[in-house]
């Protein structure tokens, strides 16, 4: 008998519970992908995600073909497409791995109900998380809103999960339609702004494994100390691979545990804890689905954000604020589709506090430009920095971008790499060129001579708005 295996953000063959279950039940899997951006609840994947997905789908198809099968691509709307395919392929059901974005959870629940009511099989699995978002609960049986107790509960409940290699051969049937060619999905950018990305990234399952290997051989050693340094390759850079499900988080843990030694314990534990933030983000998204567009802390609904300021926002987007570490982060993002976590916090704080723009302004830009754009992680990250979310950095904590640069980019190498106009400027001036006007005029004549907003004034205005909110509530 045939069954559809519906690939989504689980673009891999190893450790793929839905594919494995279909095979274990004796089905010939018809592997499909359905393009339906309109069904994403206003968060249709952005341009950088699409560019990645294009390559990842191509890689998955190649991996399937090596094993005797292939990936068939279709357009939504999803439910009628599945129904048509089930008929045309004479398939008994659909197998998929769950996604947790609120609009998708809702859609998939409705799909499952409808198909089952028609007497078909509709089976979903956990393919992307260590814990389903609803499994961990506080003593009061509610959701966690603070990371530390969430993670304590997670560690207590965690049982190592077995890893499964990809099936060696996958049977294929000629039944059913072929679908469309990948190019027809138009995921690939027509203007090639992404060309530089692929020097750094290899989308697909093999690329994910290589990234993990490179991490274990390299940046894992010293991760605890180095992970905050944007000038180093100090982290795994697995985030897009994890987002697209090119590797399972439990495999990442299994590989880390394999190399555990007394000397490595702190680095490995710190890295696993970061995966914990990803779990926490999904836990929050599941329990507080509105937070993709709204403050988790409703007190901030009355916060006096500055009026939208397209000129300032555009300077932020393009890395032309005149604040070197902010510009470096924003240009790294534009040129590679990724930004170091420390830089993400600094640029987000600058937008929400110094420029007092609403966090959604930044979240939307990241959504369009990050190759790892993930609704759970992005929402958590932005609400955390803005001070509006769970376990958030308090609003009155305003990152000083000059101090951040001194501390985390002490040689100015990150700034020099992404803002070459500043490369020749000696180090203390590189962090705040406006404080060294003579040096700046000589060594960095093409960089703005002043930030678009005076840092002290921006900070004071943000704190004043915060005080006003505190008095009101
Ligand atoms: P590593 O340090 O190697 O960590 C390993 C993995 O743990 C990551 O791949 C990621 O899956 C997870 N992880 C690490 N830190 C976090 C975190 N703070 N929150 C959630 N998961 C984490 N991450 C995304 O994957 N997608 C996003 O859209 C996203 N948006 C963000 C927006 C803001 C404003 C901020 C401050 C952070 C955001 N992050 C996001 C989290 C974090 O910056 C990235 O996960 C991290 O930089 C990825 O690099 P890495 O894979 O080398 O991380």
Q: List pLDDT tens digits, range 265-296.
A: 999 999 999 999 999 999 999 999 999 999 99
Mean pLDDT of 382-408: 91
Residue 21, pLDDT above cutoff 90:
yes
CATH code for residues 128-162+205-287: 1.25.40.80
Does residue 327 have its Cβ closer than 6 Å to ligand 1? no
Gap from CA of 454 to ligand 1 centroid (Å): 30
Mutual angle of helices 359-369 and 47-66, in 10-degree steps: 30
Q: Which of 100-114, 241-255, 387-401 has the lowest mean pLDDT?
A: 387-401
At the top level of CATH, the class of 298-472 is mainly alpha
Residue 470, pLDDT above cutoff 90:
no
The topology under which CATH files domain 2-127 is: Rossmann fold (3.40.50)
Task: Give residue 3's pLDDT.
Answer: 98
Listed in order, strand segments (DSSP E) in 293-373 are none
Gap from CA of 151 to ligand 1 centroid (Å): 16
Nearest to 348 by CA among 273, 398, 407, 295: 398
Question: Contact at 8 Å (CB) between 295 and 363?
Answer: no
Q: Tokens 């392929």: give the residue.
A: 89
Gap from CA of 396 to ligand 1 centroid (Å): 23
User: Backbone phi, then psi, for 3, in 5-degree steps?
Assistant: -145, 150
Residue 393, pLDDT above cutoff 80:
no
Mean pLDDT of 129-134: 97
- Residue 403 three-state SS: helix
Task: Give residue 209's pLDDT.
Answer: 98
Express each pLDDT in 164-211 by its tens digit: 999 999 999 999 999 999 999 999 998 899 999 999 999 999 999 999
- Residue 306 three-state SS: coil
Q: Tokens 């990842």: give the residue.
A: 56
What residues contact residue 361 under an 8 Å CB cut-off, 6+ apart? 308, 313, 351
How many other β-carbons are positioned within 10 Å of the β-carbon of residue 254? 15
Express each pLDDT in 304-342 by its tens digit: 999 999 999 999 999 999 999 999 999 999 999 999 999
**Residue 358 pLDDT level (bands cut at 50, 70, 90):** very high
Task: Give residue 395's pLDDT.
Answer: 81
Mean pLDDT of 361-365: 98
How many other β-carbons are positioned within 10 Å of the β-carbon of residue 417? 16
**Residue 397 pLDDT level (bands cut at 50, 70, 90):** confident
- Report which protein residue has its CA nearest ligand 1's atom 42: 341
Question: Contact at 8 Å (CB) between 31 and 69?
Answer: yes
Nearest-angstrom CA–CA distance, 296 and 383 = 8
Gap from CA of 420 to ligand 1 centroid (Å): 26
Residue 150, pLDDT above cutoff 80:
yes
Cβ density class 322-343: b for 16+ within 10 Å, e for less? bbbbbbbbbbbbbbbbbbbbbb
Pocket test for ligand 1, best of 357, 372, 376, 414 (most atoms within 8 A of CB): 372
Does residue 251 have its Cβ closer than 6 Å to ligand 1? no
Does residue 341 have its Cβ closer than 6 Å to ligand 1? yes
Give the tokens for residue 98.
Answer: 């769950």
Question: Contact at 8 Å (CB) between 170 and 16?
Answer: no
Give the tokens for residue 276.
Answer: 């914990």
Nearest to 233 by CA among 222, 247, 242: 222
- Residue 2 three-state SS: strand
Residue 418, pLDDT above cutoff 90:
yes
Does residue 283 have its Cβ closer than 6 Å to ligand 1? no
**Residue 394 pLDDT level (bands cut at 50, 70, 90):** confident
Question: Contact at 8 Å (CB) between 195 and 46?
Answer: no
**What is the strand order of the sheet 28-35 is part of?**
71-75, 28-35, 2-7, 91-97, 121-125
Nearest-angstrom CA–CA distance, 185 and 35 = 7
- Report which protein residue has its CA nearest ligand 1's atom 7: 275
Nearest-angstrom CA–CA distance, 250 and 132 = 13
- Report which protein residue has its CA nearest ligand 1's atom 18: 277
Nearest-angstrom CA–CA distance, 235 and 171 = 39
Residue 422, pLDDT above cutoff 90:
yes
Mean pLDDT of 96-110: 98
Gap from CA of 223 to ligand 1 centroid (Å): 14
Gap from CA of 27 to ligand 1 centroid (Å): 37
pTM: 0.98
Task: Give residue 324's pLDDT.
Answer: 98
Question: Contact at 8 Å (CB) between 395 and 466?
Answer: yes
The angle formed by the CA atoms of residues 230, 195 and 32, to the nearest 5 degrees, is 100
Closest atom, ligand 1, to C-alpha of 378: 30
Nearest-angstrom CA–CA distance, 240 and 374 = 9
- Report which protein residue has its CA nearest ligand 1's atom 4: 274
Task: Give domain limits for the chain.
Answer: 2-127, 128-162+205-287, 298-472
Gap from CA of 465 to ligand 1 centroid (Å): 29
Express each pLDDT in 433-457 by its tens digit: 999 999 999 999 999 999 999 999 9
Gap from CA of 277 to ligand 1 centroid (Å): 8
Give the tokens for residue 381.
Answer: 């990250």
Task: Give residue 472's pLDDT.
Answer: 77
**Residue 396 pLDDT level (bands cut at 50, 70, 90):** confident
What residues contact residue 300 under an 8 Å CB cut-off, 6+ apart? 386, 387, 388, 395, 469
């Amino acid at each position: 008998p045939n069954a559809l295996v519906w690939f989504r953000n689980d673009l891999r063959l190893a450790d793929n519970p839905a594919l494995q279950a279909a095979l274990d039940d004796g089905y010939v899997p018809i592997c499909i992908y359905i393009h339906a951006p309109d069904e994403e609840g206003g968060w249709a994947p952005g341009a950088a995600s699409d560019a990645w997905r294009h390559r990842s789908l191509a890689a998955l198809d190649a991996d399937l073909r090596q094993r005797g099968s292939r990936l068939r691509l279709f357009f939504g709307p999803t439910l009628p497409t599945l129904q048509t395919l089930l008929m045309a392929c004479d398939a008994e059901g659909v197998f998929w791995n769950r996604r947790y974005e609120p609009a998708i959870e809702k859609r998939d629940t409705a799909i499952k109900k409808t198909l089952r009511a028609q007497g078909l099989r509709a089976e979903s699995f956990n393919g992307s998380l260590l814990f389903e978002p609803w499994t961990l609960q506080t003593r009061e049986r509610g959701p966690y809103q603070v990371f530390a107790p969430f993670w304590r509960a997670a560690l207590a409940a965690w049982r190592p999960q077995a890893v499964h290699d990809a099936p060696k051969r996958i049977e294929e049937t000629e039944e059913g339609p072929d679908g469309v060619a990948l190019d027809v999905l138009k995921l690939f950018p027509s203007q090639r702004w992404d060309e530089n990305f692929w020097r750094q990234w290899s989308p697909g399952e093999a690329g994910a494994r290589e990234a993990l290997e490179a991490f274990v051989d390299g940046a894992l050693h010293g991760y605890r100390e180095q992970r905050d340094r944007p000038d180093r390759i100090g982290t795994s850079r697995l985030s897009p691979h994890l987002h697209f499900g090119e590797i399972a988080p439990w495999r990442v843990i299994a590989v880390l545990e394999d190399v555990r030694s007394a000397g490595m314990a702190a680095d490995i534990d710190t890295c696993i804890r970061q995966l914990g933030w990803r779990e926490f983000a999904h836990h929050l998204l599941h329990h507080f689905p509105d937070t993709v567009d709204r403050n988790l802390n409703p007190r901030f609904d009355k916060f006096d954000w500055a009026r939208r300021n397209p000129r300032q926002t555009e300077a932020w987007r393009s890395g032309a604020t005149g604040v070197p570490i902010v510009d470096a982060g924003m240009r790294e993002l534009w040129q590679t589709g990724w930004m170091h976590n420390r830089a993400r916090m600094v640029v987000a704080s600058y937008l929400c506090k110094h420029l007092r723009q609403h966090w959604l302004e930044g979240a939307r830009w990241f959504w369009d430009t990050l190759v790892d754009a993930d609704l759970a992680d992005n929402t958590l990250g932005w609400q955390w920095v803005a001070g509006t979310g769970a376990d958030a950095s308090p609003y009155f904590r305003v990152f000083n971008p000059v101090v951040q640069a001194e501390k985390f980019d002490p040689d100015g190498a990150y700034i020099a790499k992404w803002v070459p106009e500043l490369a020749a400027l000696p180090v203390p001036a590189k962090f705040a060129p406006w404080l060294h006007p003579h040096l700046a005029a000589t060594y960095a004549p093409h960089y703005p001579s002043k930030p678009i907003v005076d840092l002290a004034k921006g900070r004071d205005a943000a704190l004043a708005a915060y005080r006003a909110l505190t008095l009101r509530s």
